Amino acid sequence: MLLPFLHSTWCNAAIFAGALFFFMGFFIHRYPPKSTKSWYGYRSFLSTKTPEMWRSANEYAAYISRRIGVILILTGIACALLFNRQSDWFLYITIGAVVAGTMYMVGDTEWELTRHFDKDGNRILPE
C-alpha cells in the first residue's frame, strides 16, 4: 500500500518541503525564539550579532518561509498533475524548486538584515 504512493507523482520533494517550510514559518511566527540559545530559529552570523537582529531575522525568515511553503506546495501539485511518472525532469523541477526556495530565503533574509542594520548591529534609521 505504501509502495504505490512512493512511486506516484504525488510523493515529491516540493510538496513535503513546502509543508515543512509553511509549518516552520508558522511555528516561528507564532512562537518566536526568545534568544540565540533556542533550539530553533533562523541562525546565521548576522542574525546572532544582537538580540534585535535575532528578532528581526526570525520575524522576516518566518514570513518568507510561509510564502515559499505555499509556492512549493503549488509547484508540487502542478508537477504531480502534469507528469505521469517520476521522470528525471520531474525530479529536477521538484528538487530544484526546494533548493531555489531555500537559497532565496537565506539570501533575502541576509539582504534584509544588511539593509536595516549596520556592521555593528545597530539599526539604521531612515532619513
pLDDT digit string, tens, across residues 111-123: 999 999 998 889 9
pLDDT in tens, 9-39: 898 999 999 999 999 999 999 999 999 999 9
Which is more confidently placed, 69 or 3?
69
End-to-end alpha carbon distance in the chain:
62
CB atoms within 10 A of CB 67: 16
Instruction: Please tell me the pTM assigned to this model.
Output: 0.90
User: Mean pLDDT over residues 61-86, rounded?
Assistant: 96
Alpha carbons within 13 angstroms on the beta-carbon side of residue 113 total 28
Q: How is 11-47 classified by DSSP, letter by letter?
A: S-HHHHHHHHHHHHHHHHHHS--SSTTSSSS---TTT
Q: How far apart are CA 47 and CA 37, in angstroms?
A: 12
Per-residue confidence band for 127, with pLDDT thresholds at 50, 70 and 90: low
pLDDT band at 2 (very low <50, low <70, confident <90, very high): confident
